Amino acid sequence: MDPQRFEQIARWAEYVRTSDGAWKKHHTLFIDAQFEKSRAFFKRLAKQPGGVETIIDLFQIKNPNLITMVESWALE
Protein backbone atom coordinates (compact mmCIF):
# COMPACT_ATOMS: atom_id res chain seq x y z
CA MET A 1 0.00 0.00 0.00
CA ASP A 2 1.15 3.51 -0.77
CA PRO A 3 2.72 4.99 2.41
CA GLN A 4 0.79 8.24 2.04
CA ARG A 5 -2.48 6.36 1.70
CA PHE A 6 -1.66 4.26 4.75
CA GLU A 7 -0.89 7.44 6.70
CA GLN A 8 -4.24 8.97 5.69
CA ILE A 9 -6.07 5.84 6.81
CA ALA A 10 -4.20 5.82 10.11
CA ARG A 11 -5.06 9.51 10.71
CA TRP A 12 -8.74 8.87 9.96
CA ALA A 13 -8.81 5.84 12.26
CA GLU A 14 -7.24 7.88 15.05
CA TYR A 15 -9.78 10.67 14.50
CA VAL A 16 -12.65 8.18 14.66
CA ARG A 17 -11.29 6.74 17.91
CA THR A 18 -10.77 10.12 19.59
CA SER A 19 -13.54 12.36 18.22
CA ASP A 20 -16.33 11.11 20.50
CA GLY A 21 -18.64 10.59 17.53
CA ALA A 22 -17.97 13.95 15.82
CA TRP A 23 -16.56 12.04 12.83
CA LYS A 24 -20.08 10.88 11.91
CA LYS A 25 -21.15 14.39 10.87
CA HIS A 26 -18.06 14.80 8.64
CA HIS A 27 -18.60 11.37 7.13
CA THR A 28 -22.30 12.00 6.49
CA LEU A 29 -21.56 15.34 4.80
CA PHE A 30 -18.96 13.67 2.58
CA ILE A 31 -21.22 10.79 1.57
CA ASP A 32 -24.18 13.12 0.94
CA ALA A 33 -21.97 15.29 -1.29
CA GLN A 34 -20.97 12.23 -3.31
CA PHE A 35 -24.62 11.30 -3.87
CA GLU A 36 -25.45 14.88 -4.87
CA LYS A 37 -22.58 15.01 -7.36
CA SER A 38 -23.76 11.72 -8.86
CA ARG A 39 -27.36 12.95 -9.17
CA ALA A 40 -26.20 16.20 -10.76
CA PHE A 41 -24.06 14.29 -13.27
CA PHE A 42 -26.91 12.01 -14.35
CA LYS A 43 -29.31 14.94 -14.64
CA ARG A 44 -26.80 16.73 -16.91
CA LEU A 45 -26.32 13.53 -18.91
CA ALA A 46 -30.08 13.11 -19.33
CA LYS A 47 -30.24 16.52 -21.02
CA GLN A 48 -27.69 15.51 -23.66
CA PRO A 49 -28.79 13.97 -26.97
CA GLY A 50 -29.24 10.25 -26.28
CA GLY A 51 -28.55 10.80 -22.58
CA VAL A 52 -31.76 9.27 -21.29
CA GLU A 53 -31.19 6.16 -23.39
CA THR A 54 -27.59 5.95 -22.20
CA ILE A 55 -28.66 6.00 -18.54
CA ILE A 56 -31.41 3.42 -19.13
CA ASP A 57 -28.98 1.14 -20.99
CA LEU A 58 -26.15 1.65 -18.51
CA PHE A 59 -28.25 0.58 -15.54
CA GLN A 60 -30.47 -1.80 -17.53
CA ILE A 61 -33.55 -0.03 -16.19
CA LYS A 62 -36.78 -1.93 -16.87
CA ASN A 63 -39.06 -0.36 -14.24
CA PRO A 64 -41.43 2.07 -16.03
CA ASN A 65 -41.50 4.37 -13.00
CA LEU A 66 -37.72 4.72 -13.05
CA ILE A 67 -37.72 5.31 -16.79
CA THR A 68 -40.24 8.10 -16.29
CA MET A 69 -38.05 9.59 -13.56
CA VAL A 70 -34.97 9.55 -15.80
CA GLU A 71 -36.96 11.09 -18.63
CA SER A 72 -38.13 13.86 -16.30
CA TRP A 73 -34.50 14.82 -15.60
CA ALA A 74 -34.14 15.84 -19.24
CA LEU A 75 -36.98 18.32 -18.80
CA GLU A 76 -35.73 20.00 -15.61
The answer to whether the CB of 51 falls within 8 A of the CB of 74 is yes
**Coil/strand/helix, residue 62:** coil
Weakest mean pLDDT among 1-5, 38-42, 48-52: 1-5
Q: What is the pTM of this model?
A: 0.70
Asked if the model's pLDDT at residue 1 lies above 80, the reply is no
Residue 28 has pLDDT above 80, yes or no: yes
- DSSP result, 12-60: HHHHHHHSTTTHHHHHHHHHHHHHHHHHHHHHHHHTSTTHHHHHHHHTT
**Structure confidence at residue 30 as a pLDDT band (50, 70, 90):** very high
Q: Could you tell me the residue ranges of all domains in the chain?
A: 3-73
pLDDT digits (tens, 9 = 90+) for 55-68: 999 999 999 999 99
